Structure 1
Amino acid sequence: MNLSIVAVLVAAVLLIAAEPYVAVARRRVAEKPPSGIDHHLSHYELAYLAGGPRRAVNTALTVLATAGAVRVSRAGVSLVYGAAPSPVPVEQAVIDYLAARPGGCTAAEVRRGLAEDRAVTAMADGLVRRGLLVPEGALDHARSRMRLLVTALFVVIGVDAAALALTAGGLLGDPDDVSVLTPISLFTVVYGIATVLRQREKLRAVLTREGRQVLKTARSAHPRTARDRTSVAAAVGVPVALYGLGAAGDPVITDELSRGAPGGDATGVCGSHADHSSGFGDSSSSSENSSSGGGGCGGGGGCGGGG
């Protein structure tokens, strides 16, 4: 085996060895054993777990639109004249935001404008206190190791490119070895890119192991196909919180609110804690569980389950 192939294989081993360092650092923070506490969450807290601030605001917009307090059209979203205040903080934040814009605005503007509103960030604080979200900055060590993984990837790409060029020129072995070296190089580069993307995505998912279990329990208790008509919150708030705008049950609301949302907010992808345009959040206050205008799940009891 010539030196070029040896160099590529050594670089590949370096890359493969670097991945566990990131995974171990991440698991140390996010994979702590569940507490066993039976968590009772509002649909907005579940929305935050499932998709961060974007999902929480989308859920509030859907509930308010279904209740007739917000108008959704091709022109965007606007507050209906005479809409009553809401006892639910995130709903009132949406109402206040739209009230300050009598001409209306796009749903994307509402999501951006409320990403760091106190009603939204308070949810993140509460979910962190409950151990359902990883605290801000807790993954910094894992992210620093992620940078080492990215560096290893660039080393692999550099070594592969140099080995191919030198071998093809007959400077580092038999040029015929290029036919062997090329698939090995391609495999290591593709594997490296996939590894970096996989670990980066895991570092974006800031739910703890317990948070993931609570979300899974809530989805089991409220299947996508089920529809509880006891209240607006139960009929549209819970489905949108757990499954995204595609579960709103109204094509107009789904299409118009999805404008400007990556993926249309149709899936339960968690946002990033660090980018408080997508952090995760809470209000455990009793107003979150009000059945008026979209209170707690099913208009009373909390959703979600214990670890």
Structure 2
Amino acid sequence: MAAITIVMLTMLSVTSVGSALSVNYYEHTCPQVEYIVAGAVHEATLNDKTVPAALLRMHFHDCFIRGCDASVLLESKGKKKAEKDGPANISLHAFYVIDNAKKALESVCPGVVSCADIVALAARDAVFLSGGPMWEVPKGRKDGRISKAEETRQLPAPVFNISQLEQNFSQRGLSLEDLVALSGGHTLGFAHCSSFQNRIHNFSPKQDIDPSMDPSFAAMLRGICPSHNTVRNAGSPLDSSSAIFDNAYYKLLLQGKSIFSSDQALLTHPKTKALVSKFAYSPKEFEFAFVKSMIKMSSINGGQEIRLDCKVVN
């Protein structure tokens, strides 16, 4: 019943995202769209348990650059490097899931469904397949024609403090509530050593380890990621149940067991700290807030076309 309530309440908020998007956008032009995308995500997840986290992260990284326009899917051309080859996106993967869904959709309703909508739907399905909430995704996004690797610098970095995070989110029309709710996406996935080395080695001139981090947790991370780490792809799960969408991220954050500086930063502002505590206490409060913020974030769009191939402009 709680999950149904979440869906019903989030449907009420869809009207606030603008007339360009609608949950019924493909009702007559491609009614199979959600079934086809969900099938592609499910099939990929059966073969690779890292797919849900990858698809959720892909959606975030797409929306935070030029809006949710699938510019993150475009391939580089010669010296003109695209977003997916920017430093912050090198570890993105599972692009084939979007390609598979697009290919299936093109066979039944050619030239109708945007790659941007597929990415948004796939992120929702990834959350649901991981045990998280289901919600209605407003659709009708258009695909962008520009993708620049240097623009990935605009993504919120794992070393950001609360002021930097607030400014970064505010520039996209997202609030502190959205910041804390969307940070909960770190319940899924994996972090490479390079993204949290700053907390466990040479933290400051006087302290080697971030004092806000639980000492035993820091020791464990240092064992995985020595100061001169040479193990490729070494790192740590983002929380203790990194394949399950739950509120463990917030519980661990309150225990000093978060991975990124940007996670810990949520405890340095009274409003964000209160929200962390609320979400740690109530999984349903977290799910409700996450869905609301996902709809809000995924409604930022600035595309111009419906790509026939998600990797290249028409």
The TM-score with structure 2 as length reference comes to 0.23
Q: When you count helix as a share of all residues, which structure comes out higher? A: 1
- Structure number with larger C-alpha Rg: 1
Larger RCO (CA within 8 A; separation ≥ 6)? 1
The TM-score with structure 1 as length reference comes to 0.24
